[in-house]
Amino acid sequence: RQADVECRIVVLGSGPGGYTAAFRAADLGLDTVLIERYATLGGVCLNVGCIPSKALLHAAEVIDQASHASDYGVDFGAPTIDLDKLRGYKNKVVGQLTKGLTGMAKQRKVRVVTGEGLFVSPNEIEVTGADGKTQLVRFEQCIIAAGSQALKLPGFPWDDPRVMDSTDALELAETPKKLLVVGGGIIGLEMATVYHALGSEVTVVELADQLMPGADKDLVKPLADRLKKQGVSTHLKTKVVEAKAAKAGIEVTFDGESIPDTKIFDRVLVAVGRTPNGGKIAAGNAGVRVSERGFIAVDAQMRTNVPHIFAIGDLVGQPMLAHKATHEGKLAAEVAAGEKKEWVARVIPSVAYTDPEIAWVGITETEAKAKGLKVGVGKFPWAASGRAIGIGRTEGFTKLIFDEATHRIVGAGIVGVHAGDLIAEAALAIEMGAEVADIGHTIHPHPTLSESVAMAAEVFDGTITDLY
Ligand code: FAD
């Protein structure tokens, strides 16, 4: 069969991994095709992930700030929320970015083929459009970037619109009076923050013994305390046993210590993780091995077991984060173009854009302990930061974790407003092999929250002064 489209390299999926790979490949002079099943580029992150969630979290932050402004004599009164307008704002933000990608693809002469792509051979993908028409794309090299989707926990009545995954929750169909969030990880808690601010009575249940599993417990505490103060009820070591659609709501039965056996909710958001799309692209026809769970194994150059086919992003493994996908996308495109490169990044930061934000990078204290590593910790409480006091947010802290023998920074954790922005400095320090003193000796602007990073370095030295 004759190919409808021929190219040097094809990228399957246009999320942060895919569009970065396609743009990089084009910039390096490769004739590039980008296949995407949806009408807009950008994947989960731009359309139904990072970007819309942060637009809504911005609104939540403003609502919260306005409600606390009376502390310093400014009273805005109770907020009135126009859900249609808020949804419109979120859609506008998403639209601006996805349109931008379309423009950038055109500029680079990346040809976009719209439709669902399935491998038919090691050098061909058949793309079926919404109208059922097919196009055969023939390529010399391929980068698989088909991403992941929300895990639909079995046992929930998924055909009922009151049961939502994160994509549904971002639609903002209504503000439910009572919302249950199943899963106290990053996505669950970000959406809990949004819906609480909009006026829902929010309950969060989490199977593990702490919210945000993976982060150090001390980092999570200020968030847990604030949620409690706000009236968001959280239940750890709690499992949903059954969820039934009833007229009055979704009837949920729990197995847990501090929650009644059965409760009725107007809506339920299930945010228990994501599952890779590796098993849904007929990868076998190209000879690409896919694990039972749908992950595709790659080497340090992002190559699959088939040397001319690369894979990147959520479907190659944890952490499922946009900036990891982007980094991998760039790397795969460069290797495909003949550059002699491999994965050299030491760390990938994680951020929960909750209120307060929680950010961590490198090794956690919990991991260091489990591995028996000898580490020291410099910790600076924001209660001693002039800036944090000025904005009324002293619950945060910054900690640096360093190798006791070399004093090199190996990890960091920050909880507090803008923690996500602040953690980048620690990531740079780890990448550069910086010692704690390197940060301590760097002059940080005053009065900023970034000073807390320098102060954490100085607390370890025992040289903390009254800088604020
Ligand atoms: P994806 O973004 O999943 O994109 C894959 C693309 O491939 C999709 O567009 C899909 O339609 C397309 N595709 C799949 N199969 C086919 C096929 N057969 N044919 C054609 N096209 C196909 N990460 C962060 O770093 N920061 C955040 O703040 C953040 N917030 C998030 C909030 C939410 C609610 C969610 C759900 C996720 C969030 N993430 C965040 C995670 C982030 O969205 C993902 O890590 C990232 O999108 C992964 O990028 P990717 O390129 O691997 O794939």
Q: Is the pTM of this model over 0.90?
A: yes
DSSP 293: T
For ligand 1, atom 40, the nearest C-alpha belongs to 50
* Residue identifier of the C-alpha nearest atom 28 of ligand 1: 50
- The DSSP result for 40-97, as a single string, is SSSHHHHHHSHHHHHHHHHHHHHHHHHHHGGGGT----S----HHHHHHHHHHHHHHH
Which of ligand 1's atoms lies nearest the C-alpha of 38?
11
Enumerate helices (H) and strands (E) in the chain, giving the number of each: 13, 22
**Cα four-point dihedral sign 283, 288, 291, 295:** negative
Ligand 1 touching residue 321 (CB < 6 A): yes
> Average pLDDT in the 161-170 region?
98
Closest CA to 4 of 129, 173, 100: 129
Atom 30 of ligand 1, nearest CA residue: 50
Residue 28 has pLDDT above 50, yes or no: yes
Which pLDDT value is given to residue 467?
38
Tell me the average pLDDT across 57-61: 98
- Residue 43 Cβ contacting ligand 1 at under 6 Å: yes
Query: Would you place residue 257 in the very low, low, confident or very high pLDDT band (cuts 50, 70, 90)?
Result: confident
Average pLDDT over residues 132-154: 97
Say yes or no: CB of residue 47 within 6 Å of ligand 1.
Answer: no
Q: Which residues contact 1 (CB under 8 A, 6 or more apart)?
A: 136
The H-or-E segment that residue 18 falls in is helix 16-27
User: Does any ligand 1 atom lie closer than 6 A to the CB of residue 332?
Assistant: no
Tell me which residue of 414, 417, 398 sits closest to 460, measured CA to CA. Answer: 398
**Taking residues 392-411, what's their average pLDDT?**
95
Q: Are 41 and 127 contacting, i.e. CB atoms less than 8 angstroms apart?
A: no
Reported in sequence order, the residue ranges of 382-423 that DSSP labels E, i.e. its strands, are 397-403, 409-416
Distance 311 CA to ligand 1 centre (A): 14
pLDDT surpasses 50 at 390: yes
Contacts of 86 (CB under 8 A, 6+ apart): 56, 59, 172, 198
Q: Does pLDDT of 369 surpass 50?
A: yes
**For the complex shown, is ipTM > 0.90?**
yes
**Residues 269-295 pLDDT 10s:** 999 999 999 999 999 999 999 999 999
Catalytic residues: 446
How does the average pLDDT of the chain come out, rounded? 96
Ligand 1 centroid–CA 148 distance in Å is: 6
| 118 CA closest ligand 1 atom index | 18
Tell me how far the alpha carbon of residue 37 lies from the centroid of ligand 1, in angstroms.
Answer: 13
Q: What is the pLDDT of residue 463?
A: 52
Which range among 114-128, 213-227, 254-268, 311-325 shows the weakest confidence by mean pLDDT?
254-268
Residue nearest to atom 9 of ligand 1 (CA): 43
- Confirm or reject: Cβ of 37 under 6 Å from ligand 1: yes
Question: What does the alpha-carbon distance between residue 187 and residue 427 come to, in Å, rounded to a whole number?
Answer: 22
Nearest protein Cα to ligand 1, atom 7? 13
User: Are 9 and 139 contacting, i.e. CB atoms less than 8 angstroms apart?
Assistant: yes
Percent of the chain residues past pLDDT 70, beyond the cut:
98
> Judging by beta carbons within 10 Å of its beta carbon (0-12, 13-18, 19+), is residue 132 exposed, middle or buried?
exposed
CB 35 less than 6 A from any atom of ligand 1 = yes
Contact 396, 417 (CB under 8 A): yes
Q: Cβ neighbours of residue 371 under 8 Å, at least 6 residues apart?
A: 363
- pLDDT tier at 468 (50, 70, 90 boundaries)? very low
Are 388 and 192 in contact, with CB atoms under 8 Å apart? Answer: no
Location of structure tokens 């760039």: 330
Cα of 434 from ligand 1 centre, angstroms? 33
Average pLDDT over residues 36-46: 98
Cβ pair 87, 103 in contact under 8 A: no
- Residue 377's beta-bridge partner residues? 401
The residue among 328, 321, 347 whose CA lies nearest residue 427 is: 347
Kindly give, in sequence order, each residue whose CB lies less than 8 Å from that of residue 26, ignoring residues fewer than 6 positions away.
32, 108, 109, 110
Nearest ligand 1 atom to the CA of 41 is: 9
Asked if residue 323 has its Cβ within 6 Å of ligand 1, the reply is yes
Ligand 1 proximity of 112 Cβ (cutoff 6 Å)? no
What does the pLDDT average to over 67-77? 94
Dist CA 220 CA 6 (whole Å): 51
Q: What is the pLDDT of residue 262?
A: 83
Q: What angle (nearest 5°) sits at the alpha carbon of residue 312, between those of residues 310 and 313?
A: 170
* Atom 22 of ligand 1: nearest residue by CA position: 13
Sort residue 42 into left (φ over 0), alpha (ψ -120 to 50) or beta.
left
List all residues 6 or more positions away from 363 whose beta carbon is below 8 Å from its beta carbon.
Answer: 371, 373, 375, 401, 410, 411
By three-state DSSP, how is residue 106 classified? helix
Residue-wise pLDDT tens digits, 408-445: 999 999 999 999 999 999 999 999 999 999 999 999 99
Residue 36 CA to residue 13 CA, distance in Å, equals 5
Model confidence band, residue 461 (pLDDT cutoffs 50, 70, 90): low
DSSP conformational letter for 340 = -
Any ligand 1 atom below 6 A from CB of 420: no
Indicate the top mutation candidate among 44, 151, 280, 347 to test ligand 1's pocket, ranked by most ligand atoms within 8 A of CB: 44
Whether 328 is in the pocket of ligand 1, judged by its Cβ within 6 Å, is: no
